[in-house]
Structure 1
Amino acid sequence: MFGDRTGFIVWYSDWKAARGLDKYGTLHYLSRKMHYAVLYVNSDVAEETLKNLQRLPYVKRIEHSYRNEIKTEYERNVPDKTRFYGL
């Protein structure tokens, strides 16, 4: 359904202006209290979008999200101890 996506954490200074970030990608979350937004964009236009976001006057800084790099397949190396505690 979706191609490769890249996530950005965008720190902003104006909440009302930050609602317009959805023009640049999929706006997943917008925090009013901590002043950050989670934005997902297609990987093929990520660098171009990053340059456009940095030009905005209300954007303080942009961080790359490491969600795609986190391992999500887990192994069970610990033996099951439930049989020792059974009745």
Structure 2
Amino acid sequence: MVANRVGLAIWIHSLKQVKQLKRFGNIHYVSKRMKYVILYCDEEKSDETIQRLNSLHFVKDVSKSMRPWIKTEYQSSTPDKAKKDDYKMGI
């Protein structure tokens, strides 16, 4: 069974402690310039993980990714018949 995963953006003071974040989940990306880490963890444990991460002294802020709750299915992109006829006008 595949567990649902959620991404966490973790803003940190220093990059020295990135290795300590491995125990909370899978590190996907580390930005050296902007000092943040993208970490994936189980969705069921995400609230507990956020609380534990916020309690660490080197963490500035933790935000949860909203991607699982964003609508990705869109309406069909076929144009209306009236609009289609307007494009066929010749000069």
TM-score range for the pair, normalised by the shorter chain length: 0.7 to 0.9
Separation of aligned partners in 2, 1:22 and 1:73: 33
Structure 1 gaps, min length 5: none
3-state secondary structure, aligned to 2:9: strand
| Structure with the greater alpha carbon radius of gyration | 2
Amino-acid identity (%): 36
Separation of aligned partners in 2, 1:44 and 1:76: 34
Which residue does 1:5 correspond to in 2? 5
Superposition deviation, residue 74 in structure 1: 2.8
Query: What does 1:6-85 align with in structure 2 at a 5 Å threshold?
Result: 6-79=6-79, 84=88
Question: What's the TM-score, normalizing by structure 2?
Answer: 0.77
The farther-off stretch of 68-77 and 23-32 is: 68-77
Question: What's the TM-score, normalizing by structure 1?
Answer: 0.80
Question: Would you say how many aligned residue pairs link Structure 1 and Structure 2?
Answer: 84
RMSD: 2.2
Structure 2 residue identity aligned to 1:9: A
**Conserved in 2, the CA contact under 8 Å of 1:18 and 1:58?**
no
Separation of aligned partners in 1, 2:63 and 2:27: 15
Structure 2 gaps, min length 5: none
Separation of aligned partners in 2, 1:41 and 1:55: 17
Superposition deviation, residue 20 in structure 1: 2.3
